[in-house]
Amino acid sequence: MFNRISTVLIWSEDYKSLADWYKEKLGLIMKSQLNHPEDTGALFQIGDTQLWIGKHSEVKGKNKDRARHMFNLDVDSVEKAYQYLKDKGVEFIAPPFKAPTINYYFATFLDLDNNIVQLIGSK
């Protein structure tokens, strides 16, 4: 019945700044942008998943409960992606580490709105 997660949505009071952060820091390319009174945001494509960064009337300021959700970005090398992002000034809350139960490495960082994003892949 459920095939895959098609889109991850991140809501922001200032979606333009957050979308620009993802473009600048991660090098994501914007696929499309909507500027409608009831639907405003930017759409990025990452593999077969979309990332929507949009304006939401009920979201104010930075995320105050950042541990509630996170999403993983699959990378070839966590160490290389970590260094690339670190050199761009991305704030990491966990440097690369090996998972205790699976043969993957992780590194965890915060985006501009204080949302948690995690890298996952080989060392």
Domain-by-domain residue ranges, the chain?
1-61, 62-123
Count CA atoms closer than 13 A to 47's CA, side-chain side.
10
pTM here? 0.92
Q: How far apart (Å, rounded) are the C-alpha atoms in residues 6 and 13?
A: 23
User: pLDDT tens digits, residue range 111-123?
Assistant: 999 999 999 999 9
Fold of 62-123: 2,3-Dihydroxybiphenyl 1,2-Dioxygenase; domain 1 (3.10.180)
CATH, range 1-61: 3.10.180.10
User: pLDDT tens digits, residue range 60-69?
Assistant: 999 999 889 9
The answer to whether 1-61 and 62-123 have equal CATH topology is: yes
User: pLDDT tens digits, residue range 7-61?
Assistant: 999 999 999 999 999 999 999 999 999 998 888 999 999 999 999 999 999 999 9
